Amino acid sequence: MAERGRVGDIRVWGAPPLGAPTSGAAISGAATSGAPTSGAPASDAPARDVWAWSERQARLLRRVAVGQTASDGDLGDVDWAGVIATVESVGVAELNATRSLLRQALALLLQIRGWPEHGDRSAWLIAVGGVLADVAIHLTQAMRPHIDLAALYQVARAQVSGVALDGQLPRAFPSGCPFTLDDLLRGDRAQIDAFLVPNEELGPVVN
């Protein structure tokens, strides 16, 4: 049986924890550079202290901001490559967190469709609303071109399809994502309800 993950207190079957690296992020091609962790050049990554590095770089950059130059003491020690990578990584982390939330919302929707009579259905519906509310908070217009909802759906579908929940395989799922971002963010009930009501003729999923 697939390993369980969580959205809040709701179990998402086969899901990695929120914030863990996800296949959706990899499919969408995001970089995942982390913050450097010392005053050493960015290429000297091992054995760094992120607190000491960030404190020192912030202090140096404040001096640059008021017009001091590299000739003023130790300003030549600004780790420009590291600072740039760190600033970039802030945006990448936010994008990846948003992708992870979308993947989890899709996995929950698939669970609801897959096991329509399960006792946790109401809890799953509540969890979907909470996760999509978080997506609405995090998602920005600039992120939209970097969100591949079709790829995230395939990850979520693969995650849920192989699970036998209480001894039952899920009902069949559409092969492609039936939603747009706006369908999910608007809470388009007609579109979502049409997805959640399984077609009895399809029978159990076959992988």
pLDDT tens for each residue of 167-197: 889 988 999 999 999 999 987 778 888 888 7
**pLDDT for res 99:** 96
Question: Average model confidence (pLDDT) for the chain?
Answer: 75
pLDDT tens for each residue of 10-31: 444 444 333 333 333 332 333 3
Among 58-62, 91-95, 159-163, 187-191, the least confident range: 187-191
pLDDT exceeds 80 at position 134: yes
- Local confidence band at 43 (pLDDT 50, 70, 90 cut-offs): very low
- Local confidence band at 207 (pLDDT 50, 70, 90 cut-offs): very low
pLDDT exceeds 90 at position 150: yes
Contacts 24+ apart (CB under 8 A), 164-169: 164/1, 165/13, 165/111, 165/114, 165/115, 165/118, 166/115, 166/118, 168/115, 168/204, 169/204, 169/205
CA distance 81 to 86: 9
Q: For the chain, which residues make up each domain, given as ranges? A: 4-28+102-202
pTM value is: 0.67
Residues linked to residue 7 through DSSP beta bridges, in sequence order: 10
pLDDT exceeds 70 at position 166: yes
CATH of 4-28+102-202, one of 2.30.30, 3.40.720, 1.10.3470, 1.20.1220: 1.20.1220
**pLDDT for res 191:** 81
**pLDDT for res 199:** 53
